[in-house]
Amino acid sequence: MAFQLNQFRITNQIGEVMDSNGCTLAFRLSSTYTPAAKAGDVVKFAPTEVGDLPVVAVPGQGDPNMAVVLFNAKKATYAALDVTEFGVSSSIITMAAAGALNRGQLVSWDPTRGQIQATANTNNYLGYTLDIAVNAGDIVRVHISPKLNNQN
């Protein structure tokens, strides 16, 4: 009998949960969410929009980084008002690097490039890397542990 490679596990997908104990929650995208969200995108809470679930919005440069859209093999993108799962604090998620990153590097979301970047801001970050990125676009594991400006 001939064996075939498992074609569903050849490479890591951006936005995959890499630990079985990660914390994932369902959030609703805000009514003004644009462009469509995809796996690996980072979101912030929409503080004034009411919903049946917590509502999230697109963060701008310097905004708090709260959660990461998770990979879903059935659906590639999400529009405004869609509900999907997000990796939050204590999750380990695969993400694309905007450039070279060291292991243990604090990172934040670069909304312009749609990738994570090194940050020296110890008061506002998404988490830290568990792998080394050599080039832009390298996929690395990130331990999601957001620190926000208003936390001690």
Does 2 map to a domain? no
What mean pLDDT comes out for the span 72-88? 93
Residue 61: pLDDT band (50, 70, 90) is confident
Residue 4: pLDDT band (50, 70, 90) is very low
User: What tokens were used for 92?
Assistant: 């380990």
Does 103 map to a domain? yes
CATH number of the domain enclosing 39 = 2.40.300
User: What tokens were used for 118?
Assistant: 């090194």
Does 9 map to a domain? no
Residue 8: pLDDT band (50, 70, 90) is low
Longest dimension (CA), the chain: 60
Give yes or no for a contact between 42 and 62, defined as CB atoms under 8 angstroms apart. no
The average confidence (pLDDT) of the chain is 87
Does 65 map to a domain? yes
Give the pLDDT confidence score for residue 7 in this predicted structure.
52
Give the pLDDT confidence score for residue 20 in this predicted structure.
65
User: What tokens were used for 5?
Assistant: 């490679």
Does 1 map to a domain? no
Could you give the number of structural domains in the chain?
1
Does 42 map to a domain? yes
Domain that holds residue 45: 24-147
Does 133 map to a domain? yes
Does 152 map to a domain? no
Beta bridge partners of 57: 44
Spatial separation of the C-alpha atoms in residues 93 and 112, rounded to whole Å: 20
